[in-house]
Amino acid sequence: QLQLQESGPGLVKPSETLSLTCSVSGGSFSSSSYYWGWIRQPPGKGLEWIGSIYYSGSTYYNPSLKSRVTISVDTSKNQFSLKLSSVTAADTAVYYCARTAYTSSPWDVWGKGTTVTVSS
Amino acid sequence: SYVLTQPPSVSVAPGRTARITCGGNNVGSKSVHWYQQRPGQAPVVVIYYDSDRPSGIPERFSGSNSGNTATLTISRVEAGDEADYYCQVWDSSSDGWVFGGGTKLTVL
């Protein structure tokens, strides 16, 4: 059964770059035509899609975050990564990685989420 | 960008029917998915493609989508249904995924 696991620093200083990795296990990563995405949830607030990457490398970013986001994939490690630059306290959130088969299909597999706090 | 609007909260007595709406411009032309999120947990799909139900989700959960409103209906509500619910679509005009603001379902 496919499993996703987020990892990365739980504390990031303001103005620095947040870096997270999602490790994919229990299934084929590089040969499957899926979209892999990052979704976050600030404390007490709703879900916000950050960006996604197709297995071929095409990327899609939330317009409100596009200037600060980079998503990449490393098929040799069965991982994909998120970098969010120039973070502020507003970027404090639980960050989830997830998978969907098509743009119109649901995010059907999620990681457990990792909490990132932006603070000096 | 595309906006999905949900009521912040819905309250219902056990055994009654809860309806959670998701409003958006011509949302009926899009595929709507619904997620249940319990505190401290990742979201779980409860309805996909407007009205399909994943295996393991009770038949009490159903969905519809027409015009400018999609609706998640939970029949015979149980205490265990208390959670936050989110609708979500793919917006082809902006090439992005969009979530509604979420609705907290309270079972009285």
In A1-120, where do the E strands start and end?
3-7, 11-12, 18-25, 35-41, 48-54, 59-61, 69-74, 79-84, 93-100, 109-110, 114-118
User: For A8, how many CA atoms within 13 A lie in the half-sphere containing its CB?
Assistant: 27
- How many whole angstroms separate alpha carbon B89 and alpha carbon B72? 14
pLDDT-wise least confident of A55-59, B47-51, B83-87, B101-105: A55-59
Mean pLDDT over A27-54 rounds to: 90
Check residue A30 and give its pLDDT.
67
Mean pLDDT over B84-97 rounds to: 96
The residue with greater pLDDT, A31 or A7, is A7
Q: Mind listing the pLDDT tens digit for each residue in A83-116? A: 999 999 999 999 999 999 999 999 999 999 999 9
Q: Is the pLDDT of residue B89 over 70?
A: yes
- The DSSP result for A54-83, as a single string, is ETTS-EEE-TTTGGGEEEEEEGGGTEEEEE
- β-partners of residue A23 are A5, A79
Does B90 sit within 8 Å of A103, measured CB to CB? Answer: yes
Instruction: Tell me, yes or no, if A52 comes closer than 8 A to chain B by beta carbon.
Output: yes
Q: Is the pLDDT of residue A18 over 90?
A: yes
Mean pLDDT over A48-74 rounds to: 95
Check residue A55 and give its pLDDT.
84
Mean pLDDT over A17-33 rounds to: 86
> Which residues from chain A sit within 8 angstroms of residue B49, using beta carbons?
104-106
